[in-house]
Amino acid sequence: MRLKDKIAIVTGASRGIGRGIALVLAKEGAHIVVASRSTQKLDWAPGTIYSVAEEIRALGRKALPVPTDVTKEEDVQRMVEKTVAEFGQIDILVNNAGIVLNLKPMYEYSREEWESILAVDLTGTFLCCKYVIPEMIGRLYGKIINMGSIQGRQGLRGQSAYGTCKAAIHNLTLALAKDVSTYNINVNCVGPGAVKTYLMESVFKTAMDAELKETMMNSWFENCSLFGREVTDEDIGHMVAFLASDEARNINGQTIFVDGGQPLKGE
């Protein structure tokens, strides 16, 4: 177990990539703070912070579900306070919480839509770092893993706000790594390619037959990789676990893409 008894906060951990990361970290020995706004099941996406916490406990690890809206400073402060009260320390922060909009051109966004994405995907990452880092500084130890995206370097038609946030997070990772390196805190970023999650499926809502839609979506995700196979949330979890471990102690300020070679598809 590479992360035995480490304490990890994973935001956006109720489903999709966040759930996958939380479970991989737990399998590697970490105890997990499951942070998300999702306290109730949705019709289009199963999973809550409580169901994921149960999955983690079934793996023999401790889990603390904490309802958290990362856009609200008081929620983030409370999440950090509860983590320290329960576990006494914070070793790992995974800034995974994020939202997307249905595909549409930037000029059709309302200001409210634009700002809602920035609030979660970018400001939420800032707030979590702001309140977790002092705890890490006090122990001269910490691993921060931000969640970027292939869209942060490549762009996707109809997802300008999301791509803008992810590009900013890639740069935030560079700057923050410089800010905290003297405190033995590593800051890195993982950039997923096309991962088939409930969130991404919701972006591609159509009125077509459900079976046809599933076939087309499977083909799309598989064709995004040179290997002809989709990237999974577990793939992302394994990279996060590596960057959270001391095996990666000299990796800092990096964005590592887990995308199956997606940018090379056009070459």
Q: Which residues are catalytic?
A: 162
Going along 58-157, which residue ranges are E strands? 63-67, 92-95, 142-147
Contact by Cβ (8 Å): 53, 40: no
Written as six digits, the tokens of 81 are 């306070």
Cβ density class 181-202: b for 16+ within 10 Å, e for less:
eeeebbbbbbbbbbbbbebbbe
What end-to-end distance do the CA atoms of the chain give, in Å? 39
Distances (CA, A) of 250 to 61, 173, 177: 27, 15, 12
Residues sharing a CB contact under 8 Å with residue 96, sequence separation 6 or more, in sequence order? 10, 11, 12, 13, 17, 18, 21, 147
Written as six digits, the tokens of 123 are 């400001």
* Residue 126 burial class via C-beta count within 10 angstroms: exposed 0-12, middle 13-18, buried 19 and up: middle
